[in-house]
Amino acid sequence: MCGFVGIVSSTAVAPEIHIALQALQHRGQDCAGIATMRHDGQEFFAHRQLGQVAQAIPADALATLEGPVGLGHVRYPTIGRGLLRDAQPFFFRQPGVLMAHNGNITNYSELRDSLLQRSIHLLSQCDVEPVMCEFADALNLARRADHSIDDAMVALAEVRKRVRGSYSIVCALMLDGKPTLLVFRDPNGIRPAVLGRRGSGAELAWICASETVALDVLGFERLEEPNPGEALFLRAGAEPIRRALPQAERSPCVFEHIYFARPDSTIDERGVYQSRLALGRALAQRIVDKRVAADVVVPVPDTARPAAAALAETLGLPLREGFIKNRYSGRTFIMPDALTRISALRLKLNPLRSEIAGRRVLLVDDSIVRGTTLGRVNALLREAGAAEVHLAIHAPPVLHPCYFGIDMSTEEELFARRFPADLDTLEREAAAALEVESLTYLPLEAMNAALPGPRCAACFDGKYPQRVDAVDRSSIVADRRGRDVA
């Protein structure tokens, strides 16, 4: 889970990248970075630091980042441990390439070993670094200097041959003697990317970012989602140059709509807010079918709000804030013991007793991965005097880990896998385990009807859009186990 942006313009891009990254902050808070290239490609500049954008990249650092083409990145680690050395964008000195991405390279270890055999050493555990090294190595083999778009296509063919997994990549380098922003994606287009334009003539500027909110804040017009079947070469003052790449079945991640993307973004030609409303309406139908009786609908803030609103509207129930979220509290998983964790959750979510006490609460959340947080939220509701707690989840049970960029535990940690596969039995036994009166998931078919179109929904249905070898799975799982997450 990361956010990226690339901009090419006739003026310095770093200040605008800084703004775009703040719009993408929800996609990663561990570290932030901006890197730029001077107009003649003779000098590169970078600033990467741990923390959120505003603190990680202060104004004095921003002033040092020169150049009309550059990249920005906010990171939540899916491989590696979130150290500064893993912060993007990355730089390769020969021939001078910047690269940043969102995704998860599933054959990271294989790539690292293959690069080592060519005496190319990695400086990080970040999975875009081997992709960049493969690209740069192939580019240098095509020609030592003065690279062209044709050379870049040769290098991209090599990347496509060697690299597996999900990736939406932005890359800055000199091609045909011009500062160029290169955009390409994995053959399935799993992770989101959107292209925007602003201005005309010599002032024409281009942006590619993870989500449309980055375009909105900078006044860029949304054009399209880069096709996984082509590479885009973007230059200031010129129309994009498009070159074909092999393509597989389009499989954009459905979880972006359920949980990850900002509700004011548009992904796959569909507003994320609209998606969540549709999920809430579909969930309401199942609540009716199951005859769950409640007095008030309460969302777990913030993601579940749109679905809870649609669900309450459909059921004719009042929608209330049952918790006030403290936006300034830290992440809970660094807390060492159970008592501290409960306190951390209280710090993050404080229940509104006036809306809860004596009522049958229909609590809406986006998904259940490990189930630990919802158990604690239920405890908070009981303490605040809830008469009953009924859980409603606007996604199907998460039964399979994600190998494509959303860090959602290992197979044995997934809550829903502890119960029988039949949905009614699963709901009954899971409700008992969570100590709530009832639990209602959105069935897979209902989600498919609410969000039609091609997609990856592998964490729900197990149909991964790409082969993930057993050895790659084990190395991803080992990496996740080694990380300090709860």
Angle between helices 423-434 and 372-383 (to 10 degrees): 60
The nearer residue to ligand SF4, 9 or 106, going by C-beta atoms, is 106
Among 99, 128, 254, 282, which residue sits at the site for ligand SF4 (rule: CB under 6 A)? Answer: 254
> Cα separations (Å) of 217 from 137, 180, 208, 269, 404?
36, 23, 13, 19, 28
The DSSP bridge pattern shows strands 388-393 and 360-365 to be parallel
- Given the residues 2, 253, 402, 459, the one annotated as active site: 2
Calculate the CA 190 to chain-centre distance: 10
Q: Which stretch binds ligand SF4 (CB under 6 A): 251-259, 262-270, 372-380, 446-454?
A: 251-259
Site for ligand SF4 in 343-402 (CB under 6 A): 402
- Is residue 259 within the footprint of ligand SF4 (CB under 6 A)? no
Dihedral (Cα; 144, 146, 150, 154), 10-degree rounding = 20
For the CB of residue 406, give the shortest distance to ligand SF4 in the complex, in Å. 4
Known catalytic membership, residue 2: yes
Chain position carrying tokens 């294989």: 110
Among 87, 207, 218, 406, which residue sits at the site for ligand SF4 (rule: CB under 6 A)? Answer: 406
Site for ligand SF4 in 153-192 (CB under 6 A): 190
Site string for ligand SF4, 440-459 (x = CB under 6 A): ----------------xxxx
Give the list of residues 6+ apart from residue 150 with CB closer than 8 angstroms, or none: none
Burial 203-233 (b: 16+ CB within 10 A, else e): ebbbbbbbbbbbbbebebeeeebbbbebbbb
Furthest-apart CA atoms within the chain: distance in Å: 74
Among 167, 255, 323, 419, which residue sits at the site for ligand SF4 (rule: CB under 6 A)? Answer: 255
Give the list of residues 6+ apart from residue 316 with CB closer than 8 angstroms, or none: none
Q: Does the N-terminal peptide bond of residue 95 adopt cis geometry, omega within 30 degrees of 0?
A: yes
Among 136, 253, 279, 363, which residue sits at the site for ligand SF4 (rule: CB under 6 A)? Answer: 253
Total of residues contacting ligand SF4 (CB under 6 A): 11
The nearer residue to ligand SF4, 273 or 404, going by C-beta atoms, is 404
The nearer residue to ligand SF4, 135 or 404, going by C-beta atoms, is 404
DSSP characters over 277-344: HHHHHHHHHHHHHTT---SEEEEPTTTTHHHHHHHHHHHT--B---EEE-TT---GGG--SHHHHHHH
The nearer residue to ligand SF4, 34 or 406, going by C-beta atoms, is 406
Site string for ligand SF4, 265-284 (x = CB under 6 A): --------------------
The nearer residue to ligand SF4, 432 or 449, going by C-beta atoms, is 449
The nearer residue to ligand SF4, 350 or 448, going by C-beta atoms, is 448
Give catalytic residue positions: 2
For binding to ligand SF4 (CB under 6 A), which residues are involved?
Answer: 190, 253-255, 402, 404, 406, 456-459
